[in-house]
Amino acid sequence: MSSTFETEFAATALPDILSTFGVAVTYTPAGGEAVAVAKAVWEEDPPETVTAEDGSTRIRRARVVIAMTDVAAPVRGATLTVDAEDWSVLSVAPQAGAHTLDVQRVELVERSREDLRARR
């Protein structure tokens, strides 16, 4: 059950926050239909680069807040698209009329072949 604060926040503050700071995204559950979300608040962490034998990968992570009225029950494994980039939904946490989604995007930075790698 929601507290009075959560109810009031969802009714008054959340719409203002989303309209002021929000960006357009598309939510697509695995195997489901895409849903346009007019406003989502996006907070991206600094990227992390992971280097392995066969090259480098950049891992980008972000937290995204969307209104429950836009997507009632988002799920882990869905895709969130923003600016033509697809992000995987890692987790979902409901709060005060909204959902906070932890999302991740993995990008190839460099790929090397065995014959081009330095021997150590």
Give the CATH number of the domain where residue 78 resides.
Answer: 2.40.10
Query: In angstroms, how far is CA 83 from the centroid of its own chain?
Result: 12
Residue 117, domain member (yes or no): no
pTM over 0.85: no
For the chain, how many structural domains are there in total?
1
Residue 119, domain member (yes or no): no
Helix/strand/coil for 8: helix
**Average pLDDT of 83-101?**
93
Q: pLDDT band at residue 106, thresholds of 50, 70 and 90?
A: very high
pLDDT given for residue 116 in this prediction: 60
Per the CB < 8 A criterion, the answer to whether 27 and 80 are in contact is yes
| Strand bridging mode 23-28 / 85-95 | unpaired
Which DSSP symbol is given to 84? T
Residue 102, domain member (yes or no): yes
**Strand boundaries in 5-73, DSSP class E:** 23-28, 35-44, 48-52, 55-67
**Average pLDDT of 100-112?**
89
- The answer, yes or no, to whether residue 38 has pLDDT greater than 90, is no
**Average pLDDT of 89-108?**
93
Residue 118, domain member (yes or no): no
Residue 81, domain member (yes or no): yes
- Identify the residue with better confidence: 19 or 28: 28
Q: pLDDT band at residue 92, thresholds of 50, 70 and 90?
A: very high
Which residues form the domain of 50? 4-111
